[in-house]
């Protein structure tokens, strides 16, 4: 099976590619290697993937319409996983156009490629940020999500709508996965765990938003990968019970499905920091700040549908996951214990 993984030099794309290569899939990894964060980290991930014979890297911009059309026509992928995107809530306040280019224009190019080349299944990354102003917990894929509070979230919600349209019009099976704060080895330098670890080791203060009262459903990378792989091999069908009189947002009379992939066990930010301090054997200097624009105070994933359909739900504790991250961080940056 030939699989296109976009964002293969990114955090989640790297782990997914590595997992599927070890299962002997043929992987084409696409990435534009942009400098939103340390390009060397992206290249280091890629060089691990390039050790596998059944991996090929394509440096391409999702928004490059003709480049994308040519790639799809040439390669004839069986399945596609879209993990390339401009990520990050806070950056979207300063750089809105980057989100439109990668997440909207790029996503249309991807949908068109799938449509014209009979791709069997498109799986794409959405985000817990689509829950926006919702406060009914846990967040469920059956709830309405029409009140995003960042352009990032709005682009992710748009992806869900665009994917549904292609599922309906062209019968393209699509599955959208709403990831909840993913962390682990090879993680993203713009995210809290990475920034905190670096600052604590350098004995610099960390920035703690919402005075540490933020609650997040932190989800370990291996759990995310297990969820993505199982959904990739489960092509969605039309839901024959779906009714337009009470339209369920998570499914459709078209082959379209949405799932949350989250730990189903929210943790307060202060506790997350304590666990990190224990793993590092060092106390953090903390500067406390109010919540930032665009951020939601809490996330909590309802994963009942995921468990029912794919027989799996994330279960790694933050104690275990943070330890794995710290071990990787020290090894990668050649720090002694």
Ligand X SMILES: NC(=O)c1ccc[n+]([C@@H]2O[C@H](COP(=O)([O-])OP(=O)(O)OC[C@H]3O[C@@H](n4cnc5c(N)ncnc54)[C@H](O)[C@@H]3O)[C@@H](O)[C@H]2O)c1
Report the distance separating Cα 229 and Cα 242, nearest Å. 26
Exactly one of 37, 99, 152, 259 is catalytic; name it: 152
Question: Measured from the CB of residue 98, what is the shortest distance to ligand X in angstroms?
Answer: 8
CB nearer ligand X, residue 77 or residue 179: 179
Residue nearest to ligand X (CB): 10
Q: Is 220 a catalytic residue?
A: no
Q: Write down the residue that tokens 């009379």 correspond to.
A: 253
* CB 185, min distance to ligand X, A: 13
Which tokens belong to 202? 């350098």
The CB-of-60 to ligand X minimum distance in angstroms stands at: 6
Is residue 226 within 8 A of residue 303, CB to CB? The reply is: no
Q: How far is the CB of 222 from ligand X (least distance, A)?
A: 14
The least CB distance from residue 118 to ligand X, in Å, is 23
From the centroid of its chain, how far is CA 312? 18
Residue with Cβ nearer ligand X (92 or 240): 92
Contact 225, 190 (CB under 8 A): no
The residues of the shown chain that bind ligand X, judged by CB under 6 A, are: 7, 9-13, 31-34, 42, 61-63, 83-87, 102, 106, 125, 127, 179, 181-182, 188
Quick one: tokens of 137?
């917990």
The nearer residue to ligand X, 9 or 123, going by C-beta atoms, is 9
Nearest to 272 by CA among 190, 185, 193, 179: 193
Per-position b or e across 137-168, b if 16+ CB within 10 A of its CB = ebbbbeeebeebbbbbbbbbbbbbebbbebbb
Q: State the catalytic residues.
A: 152
């Amino acid at each position: 099976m030939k699989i296109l993984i976009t964002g293969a030099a990114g955090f989640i794309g790297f782990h997914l590619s590595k997992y599927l290569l070890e299962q002997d899939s043929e992987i084409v990894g696409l990435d534009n290697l942009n400098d939103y964060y340390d390009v060397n980290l992206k290249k280091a991930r890629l060089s691990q993937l390039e050790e596998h014979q059944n991996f090929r890297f394509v440096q391409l911009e999702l928004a490059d319409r003709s480049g994308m059309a040519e790639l799809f026509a040439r390669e004839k992928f069986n399945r596609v996983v879209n993990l390339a995107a401009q990520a990050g809530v806070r950056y979207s306040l300063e750089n809105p156009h980057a989100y439109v280019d990668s997440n909207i224009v790029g996503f249309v190019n991807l949908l068109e490629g799938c449509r014209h080349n009979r791709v069997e299944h498109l799986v794409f990354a959405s985000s817990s940020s689509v829950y926006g102003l919702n406060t009914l917990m846990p967040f469920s894929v059956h709830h309405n999500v029409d009140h995003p509070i960042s352009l990032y979230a709005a682009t992710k919600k748009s992806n869900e709508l665009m994917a549904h349209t292609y599922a309906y019009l062209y019968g393209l099976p699509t599955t959208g996965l709403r990831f909840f704060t993913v962390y682990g080895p090879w993680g993203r330098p713009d995210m809290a765990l990475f920034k905190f670890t670096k600052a604590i080791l350098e004995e610099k203060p960390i920035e703690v938003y919402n005075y540490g009262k933020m609650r997040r459903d932190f989800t370990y990378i291996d759990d995310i990968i297990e969820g993505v792989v199982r959904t990739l091999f489960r092509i969605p069908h039309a839901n024959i019970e779906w009714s337009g009189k009470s339209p369920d947002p998570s499914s459709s009379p078209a082959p379209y499905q949405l799932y949350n992939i989250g730990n189903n066990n929210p943790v307060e930010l202060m506790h997350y920091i304590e666990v990190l301090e224990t793993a590092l054997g060092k106390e953090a200097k903390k500067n406390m700040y109010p919540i930032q624009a665009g951020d939601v105070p809490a996330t909590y994933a309802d994963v009942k549908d995921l468990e029912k359909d794919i027989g799996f739900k994330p279960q790694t504790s933050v104690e275990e996951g943070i330890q794995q991250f710290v071990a990787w961080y020290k090894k990668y940056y050649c720090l002694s214990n």
